[in-house]
Amino acid sequence: MTEYIERIGEQVKSSVAGETYTAYVPKPLPPSPSIEMDKIYPYLDQASLALGRLDGLSIILPDPSLFLYMYIRKEAVLSSQIEGTQSSLSDLLLYENQEIQGVPDQDVVEVSNYVAAIEHGLERIKNGFPLSLRLIREMHEILLSKGRGSSKQPGEFRRSQNWIGGTRPGNAKFVPPPPERLMETLDALEKFLHDETIKLPTLVKAALAHHQFETIHPFLDGNGRLGRLLITFILCVDGIMEQPMLYLSLYFKTHRQQYYDHLQLVRDTGDWEEWLQFFLKGVVETANELLSNLVYAH
């Protein structure tokens, strides 16, 4: 672990209900000083190779749409399970085919919303709409349109303080930017996504953007699910993947504590390189596992 003081964000004092707390405002991307690429090149090379093989095989699938139909739903189940839902893939398929009797379980409604949000985003991007704050809000509105999240301002960036862990900002494990600093961090993230003068490998860009989104935590609910989707969408928009086939939810779920520890390590020390190594290992692991499944199916 290396400490990069210049990369660490701003600690901001704020208060709610008479209690003072400290929130974290991240510095804009890309990190400065720049990423030490020599520390991540071995991981990046492996990840790029695995992703290239996966993308190549996906192009020659006899029916990629059928595979994607099931794979997107599997991802929706896994990503939602990270947030605490208990629905299975079979529950989702039964619900979508209207074979669940009575009032559907709230969990399966949430997973179905997630599928709809993914499909909406992919369709918009395929039609040339930019990966933007507007598109993220559109997807968020669909994600929380029905079920438990419908009271959490669907499609709207938060106007109040949220926190991670604990019962209030004062005893939380992590407190994202206060509402009055939210838009500056989001605008900077959107600028990073579209700044063609920034010469970074797309996988590195996706890893940085995912981390920044999770740190900003712009919504009252649904941040984790949308942040994980952001990775896949960046890879598709930048042309690294022909088909939206790489989702890291299973890797993040399997290595959940490491994932949270790496997120926090960047905030505490500015060490982006360790986060990037962890992320790129996940790309290799996920792509190779999916590749094996595709070869077997083919």
- Which amino acids are annotated catalytic? 217
227 labelled ligand-binding: yes
Instruction: List beta partners, residue 164.
Output: 174
DSSP 8-state assignment for residue 164: B
What is the DSSP secondary-structure string of 168-201? SGGG-SB----HHHHHHHHHHHHHHHH-TT----
43 labelled ligand-binding: no
Say whether 15 sits in a helix, a strand or coil.
strand
259 labelled ligand-binding: yes
Q: Is the alpha carbon torsion for 113, 119, 121, 124 positive or negative?
A: negative
222 labelled ligand-binding: yes
224 labelled ligand-binding: yes
135 labelled ligand-binding: no
CA-to-CA dists, residue 239 to 98, 133, 235, angstroms = 36, 20, 6
How far apart (Å, rounded) are the C-alpha atoms in residues 278 and 245?
20
221 labelled ligand-binding: yes
For the annotated binding site for ATP, the residues are 221-228, 259-260
Query: Annotated binding site: which residue ranges?
Result: 221-228, 259-260
